[in-house]
């Protein structure tokens, strides 16, 4: 296989999502924790850091997928594919 051909192949969304999952899961966990802290003003029960991390691990999956789709679109746009 030619090295130039392998570099021209676009990354699929799932690979980008796997690569971005740690970042997305961490961002979701931090945002959930901070939202719960601000929610105390309205009487919402606070969220423990462990619960925020566990929720971030679960909710990080769709967040990583959405981020992967966004990055894929930006990469296609930059390469002139769209």
pTM for the structure as a whole = 0.81
CA distance 4 to 28: 37
Whether 1 maps to a domain, the answer reads: no
Residue with tokens 């970042």: 23
Whether 7 maps to a domain, the answer reads: no
Mind listing the pLDDT tens digit of every residue in the chain (82 residues)? 444 555 677 899 999 999 999 999 999 999 999 999 999 899 989 899 999 999 999 999 999 999 999 999 999 999 888 7
Structural domain boundaries enclosing 42: 13-79
Nearest to 27 by CA among 66, 57, 47: 57
Residue 12 C-beta-side C-alpha neighbours within 13 Å: 3
Number of domains in the chain: 1
Whether 4 maps to a domain, the answer reads: no
CA distance 3 to 78: 21
In this structure, the number of other CB atoms found within 10 A of the CB of residue 24 comes to 21
Whether 43 maps to a domain, the answer reads: yes
Whether 38 maps to a domain, the answer reads: yes
């Amino acid at each position: 296989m030619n090295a130039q051909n392998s570099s021209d192949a676009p990354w699929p969304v799932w690979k980008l999502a796997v690569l971005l999952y740690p970042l997305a899961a961490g961002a979701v966990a931090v945002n959930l924790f901070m939202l719960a802290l601000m929610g105390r003003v309205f009487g919402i029960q606070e969220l423990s850091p462990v619960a925020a991390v566990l929720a971030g691990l679960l909710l990080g999956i769709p967040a990583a997928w959405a981020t992967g789709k966004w990055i894929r679109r930006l990469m296609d746009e930059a390469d002139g594919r769209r």
